[in-house]
Amino acid sequence: MTGWATDPPRHAEHTRFPLQLVYQAARMYYLEDATQADIAARLSMSRATVSRLVAAARHSGLVQVDVLDPFRDETQALAGRLVAALGLRQAQVVPAAHRATLGTDLAPAIAAAVARMGLRPGDVLLIGSGRTTWALAQDALPRLPGVRLAPTVGGQADPLPWFQSNEITRTAAASSGATPSFLFAEALPSVAMRASLDTDPSFRHIVDMWHRASGAIVGVGAPPAVRDALASGVPVDDDLVRDAAGDVSLNFFRRDGTPIAFDGAERMVRTPRETLAAIPHVVAAAVGVEKAPSVVGGVRAGLIGGLVTDVRTARAVLAAADES
C-alpha cells in the first residue's frame, strides 16, 4: 500500500470511518503483520472496531488481494494441446468443475469464450439443453444486453428441467440481460405436429434465428448407453441410439463423427447439423470423463469449434483422440 498520486481508490471516500484511521489499521495489519489485538491496543479501540476498519479497507479499495491460480500453467498447456489435437478454434480449461457448482466453476471460461465471439446488440446467440447448459444459464453467462437468445432444440413438454429448452433460454436471458425467443415444440413431436410446425410463424422465426446466429453455447451429450436420461421422445431402446458416441443439440453421431439417423430422427426439433456447423462460433461446455468420446465425435462431426472443460475431462479427451 502506497500513497496515490491523484485520486484515492474508488469508494475510499465513502467509508463511515475517517480515511486516515482506515489506512492506519490496514497498514499495521497487512504490512506490519500486527494482530488485531495489537492494533486495538495501539489505537485505543476495541478489536471489533479494528475488524471493521480492516474490512472497510478491503471494501474501499485501499487493500487489494490477488489469489494466484496454481494450476494456470497446466490448464493453459492442456488448452493448447486440445486445440492442436482436435483442430479447435479455442479451448478453455478450468482446474476442476463439480456438478453442484458447475455454473460457477465454468463461468470465467465461458465468459472468455463468449467474449471471443464479439457479439453486438442484435446478434443471435443460441443455447442448447442438458445439465451443463442448465447450470450455465443460471449464473455463468456474461452480460449480453441487446443480444437475441434462442434455444437450439425443442423440449417444451419435457419433465426434466435441464431438457426444458425454453426455461433454459428464459433463465439465461434473465441472468445475462439478453432478449429471449422461445420454441414452442417438443423435442420429438408427432408426425402431424411436426408438419404443422413448418408453417407456424413462431417456429419459422426460430429457424431464421438458427441461420442468422453468430454463436452458440451447447452441451455435449455422453454416450446414451451410459446416461441416466435422454430428452423426452428419443428412442432409448433403439440400437443406433444406444451405440452413439453422443450428441450435440440432439444431433447424434458415431465416434468418427458420422451422423446417426434412427427411426423418427427426421422429426426431431433441433438446429440441423449443417446449420449448426455453419455458425461461426460454437462453444461446447463438457465436463465428465465419460464424455471424452462424445467430444471427439462432436468435433469430427463439425459441430464443435470451441471447448470449455476441466482438467480431468481434458486429459480424457486427449487420450480418446489418441486412441482413434
Instruction: Indicate yes or no: pTM above 0.85.
Output: no
pLDDT for res 15 = 53
Between CA 127 and CA 133 the distance in angstroms is 7
Nearest to 137 by CA among 227, 230, 206, 217: 217
pLDDT for res 106: 95
Containing 151, the helix (H) or strand (E) segment is strand 148-151
Angle (CA) 179 307 265, round 5° = 75
CATH hierarchy code of domain 12-60: 1.10.10
Which residue intervals of the chain bear CATH 3.40.50.1360? 72-323
The pLDDT assigned to 136 comes to 96
- pLDDT score, position 70: 63
- Please list the ranges in the chain whose pLDDT falls under 70: 1-15, 66-71
Q: Where in the chain is the domain with CATH 1.10.10?
A: 12-60
Pair 220, 284: CB distance under 8 Å: yes
Question: Could you tell me how far CA 270 lies from the centroid of its own chain?
Answer: 20
Per-residue pLDDT of 234-286, as tens digits, reads 888 888 898 999 999 999 999 999 999 888 899 999 999 999 999 999 999 99
DSSP state of 126: E
Report pLDDT for 223: 96
By the 8 A CB rule, do 282 and 276 touch?
Answer: yes
In DSSP notation, 213-282 reads: -SEEEEE-BPPGGG-S---TT--TT-HHHHT--EEETTEEE-TTS-B---TTGGG--B--HHHHHHSSEE
* Sign of the C-alpha dihedral computed for residues 271, 272, 273 and 278 taken in this order: negative
Three-state DSSP state, 92:
strand
CATH class of 72-323: alpha beta
Cell numbers given for 147: 443480444
